[in-house]
Amino acid sequence: MTSFKHHFEPSNLREYDIRGIVGKSLHNDDAYALGRTFGSIVRRSGGQVVAVGYDGRVSSPDLEQALVKGLVASGITVLRVGLGPTPMLYYTSVTRKADGAIMVTGSHNPPDHNGFKMMLHGKPFFGKQIKQLGGFAEAGDVVEEAAGQVETVDPSESYITRLLQDYDGEKPLKVVWDNGNSAAGDVLTRLVKHLPGEHTVLYPEIDGTFPNHHPDPTVEANLADLIAEVRRQKADVGVAFDGDADRVGVVDGEGNILWGDQILVLLARDVLKKRPGETIIADVKASQVLFDEVAKAGGKPLMWRTGHSLIKSKMAETASPLAGEMSGHIFFADKWYGFDDALYGAIRVLGIVARLPETLAAWRSALPVMVNTPELRFPCDDTRKFEVISEVAKRLEQEGANVSAIDGVRVQTDDGWWLLRASNTQAVLVGRIEARSHEGLDRLKAAFTAQLKASGLEAPNFDAAASGH
């Protein structure tokens, strides 16, 4: 028997990935142990080949090296993709028919964080599978040590060619891209040379210290440079990425942000022209406008739980061609492979904008306007957060409220809706409120606050939280 055993910091074993603070809760020996354990899972499932990539963080090359060593020690053939965006690794895994894939990435977290996103046999590896992996490592339950091998591959040219294949614009555009020093830098710089129109790339250098702004396109402050440059150039559209380029942000030619659900409306209307009656999925945080617009466009709107792994699994189950989250994860199974890819999402958005009879700004302003809060996040102990959701759900049931309990509670009223759910990745509760009027928003805030107080919690600060979109 092998003498291998390893204890992972339990808080690093998240719902969708493994993630921690480098040098504190996450070390190179964790990466080796992950390779050794995941490699064993792949081998026992009849697999042999695992694709591995890494993002631009300072700690990523060392973690990748240790990970590869662990996989090789499990007898795995490693396809070493190198530095690049997460979706390029997914693309390699799918097109090379790898049995598994691991991306070393801290996504949009601070520079001293890092982690691993995984796929097994073409599907997300998450939830109970991650907890089970931790148990295998703790018990030393791995295959006998064996000599695997490493094949270095560069899929970037093939990936860029495949991205360009689905560009279907009819007029050249002026586009500003904010790479935000993300891992997409090299691929993006090469990609835009092949697209018609004028393209400016901000912060193309891959730099894991993120010297210009934090790499999260869902936070308005992080889009300030992009918005300013779009306005200065009078560009048609602006595009932004997160740290590993699996989440996309979009701004119109006037510098207004299109949030995740608005991007999805744009894409859904286009997809449904050729695929009427099909299911379009969005997470529980999305605006009611999205679900209404999908139905109006002849699609079947489906509200689902937040989390890229959960959405991908639901897409496969329902044969949905398109799905998205408020966080900017956009998933295409229409012409694409069903995974979240900010570069591919951007290509599809640009194609639509280059076919619109009006500007993107005019298109956006024609959407129904709702008054809503941004995502509200407030601390709540990891064990207590799920209890709170149960208590609130029970009270709402007694009141006879109109509730969707897919992920937390989403309460529909004549004014609009409010949502309360437990985060799967942090010790926080997440809320969102949307109404047709400011007065309605106030009533929903009061109902939301009352439910929190009944469970002994303070309501979050709503000041300056309302925003029309």
- E strand or H helix that includes residue 78: strand 77-83
Could you give the CA distance from residue 293 to residue 388 in angstroms, rounded to a whole number?
Answer: 32
- E strand or H helix that includes residue 117: strand 113-120
> Cβ distance 39 to 76 under 8 Å?
yes
Please indicate whether residue 107 is annotated as part of the active site.
Answer: yes
Helix, strand and coil in the chain, % to nearest 5: 35, 25, 40
> Cβ distance 397 to 389 under 8 Å?
no
For 356-405, give the secondary structure using H, E and C: CCCCHHHHHHCCCCCEECCCEEEECCHHHHHHHHHHHHHHHHHHCCEEEC
Could you give the CA distance from residue 371 to residue 153 in angstroms, rounded to a whole number?
Answer: 49
| Active-site choice (40, 74, 107, 327) | 107
Two tokens, residue 169: 């614009």
List the one residue out of 227, 368, 232, 214 whose CA is nearest residue 293: 368
List the one residue out of 120, 186, 200, 116 whose CA is nearest residue 155: 186
Could you give the CA distance from residue 207 to residue 130 in angstroms, rounded to a whole number?
Answer: 29
Integer-rounded Cα radius of gyration of the chain: 22
Task: Give all strands (DSSP E) within 164-222, no chain letters.
Answer: 174-178, 198-202
> Cβ distance 300 to 294 under 8 Å?
yes
Two tokens, residue 438: 């400011």
What does DSSP say about strands 237-241 and 174-178: parallel, antiparallel, or unpaired?
parallel
| Residues designated catalytic | 107
